[in-house]
């Protein structure tokens, strides 16, 4: 995308500013104050700082837009505006807190229930993924497309493992076993926005996970669509921001992967 639209420029600037603070905090990760948010799920001062920066920057540029943010929740749009930001200030918090350099800032823009713009920024690798509805998907200004592979045994897939305390482990282990048996491999890197971005860039052939939230998937979902991929719930139903599962893949392999995941445990 040689000439970014005003809305993508706003989103990119906000993500860049937040990422600078995240990189500084990442360099001092052992000194971060950490509190428990739930089973195997943490929130740090870095999350809160990044979210504050993103809200300030996005609100300054578009004061009437609403918000749906991981830490501070939802706030309504103003003056009849029909758009809202969907923001994960630090996707991959556990990676961040353990010193693993794989996390992202994720911002999507929704209008009347439809995703129209997306930015996913990996601060450590300096990779910026952007997409707008009908305009394609890009990585650092280079257009990206989903993989063209057609064979499961040549394909690499990504997933997310259920956290401690959730009842999904038996079903997940069945899914994982069936996919591993027929594929070139499965990866679990713990950052859904980047998993979806990697599908869009053709690095993975597909990604599936259950139990994600809108801020985990919104930006990546649009990236995959604009890169020519197919995104549904597991089981094939049309996906929404309230869906309880996600399956993203190139169009050649989406049905085959879905059949594997739908088989009984």
Domain boundaries, the chain: 6-144, 152-262
CB 46 within 8 A of CB 70: no
- The Cα–Cα gap between 123 and 89 comes to 12
Cβ burial, residue 3 (10 Å; 0-12/13-18/19+):
exposed
**DSSP 8-state assignment for residue 152:** G
pLDDT at 33: 64
Q: When comparing pLDDT for 17 and 77, which is higher?
A: 17
pLDDT digits (tens, 9 = 90+) for 27-53: 887 666 676 665 445 667 889 999 999
Q: When comparing pLDDT for 165 and 201, which is higher?
A: 201
Fold of 152-262: D-Maltodextrin-Binding Protein; domain 2 (3.40.190)
The pTM of this model reads 0.93
Strands, E assignment, 39-113: 41-44, 66-69, 73-75, 83-91, 104-111
Domains 6-144 and 152-262 share a fold: no
Q: Count of CB atoms within 10 A of residue 217's CB? A: 29
Q: What value does the CA radius of gyration of the chain take, rounded to a whole number of Å?
A: 18
Fold of 6-144: Fructose-1,6-Bisphosphatase; Chain A, domain 1 (3.30.540)
Beta bridge partners of 207: 158, 248
- The Cα–Cα gap between 98 and 217 comes to 23
């Amino acid at each position: 995308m040689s000439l970014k639209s005003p809305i993508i420029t706003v989103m990119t600037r906000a993500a860049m500013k937040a990422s600078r603070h995240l990189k500084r905090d990442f360099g001092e990760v052992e000194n971060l104050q950490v509190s428990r948010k739930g089973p195997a799920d943490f929130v740090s001062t870095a999350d809160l700082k990044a979210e504050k920066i993103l809200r300030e920057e996005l609100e300054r540029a578009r004061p009437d837009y609403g918000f749906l943010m991981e830490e501070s929740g939802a706030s309504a749009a103003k003056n009849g505006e029909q758009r809202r930001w969907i923001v994960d200030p630090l996707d991959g918090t556990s990676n961040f807190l353990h010193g693993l350099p794989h996390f992202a800032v994720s911002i999507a823009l929704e209008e009347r229930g439809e995703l129209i713009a997306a930015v996913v920024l990996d601060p450590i690798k300096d990779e910026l993924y952007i997409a707008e509805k009908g305009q394609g998907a890009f990585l650092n200004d280079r257009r990206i497309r989903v993989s063209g592979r057609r064979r499961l045994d040549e394909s690499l897939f990504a997933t997310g493992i259920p956290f401690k305390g959730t009842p999904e482990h038996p079903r997940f282990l069945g899914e994982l076993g069936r996919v591993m048996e027929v594929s070139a491999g499965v990866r679990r890197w713990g950052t859904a926005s980047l998993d979806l971005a990697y599908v869009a860039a053709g690095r993975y052939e597909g990604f599936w996970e259950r139990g994600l939230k809108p801020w985990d998937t919104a930006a990546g979902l649009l990236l995959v669509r604009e890169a020519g991929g197919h995104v549904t719930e597991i089981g094939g139903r049309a996906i929404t921001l309230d869906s309880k599962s996600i399956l993203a893949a190139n169009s050649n392999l989406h049905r085959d992967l879905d059949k594997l995941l739908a088989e009984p445990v």
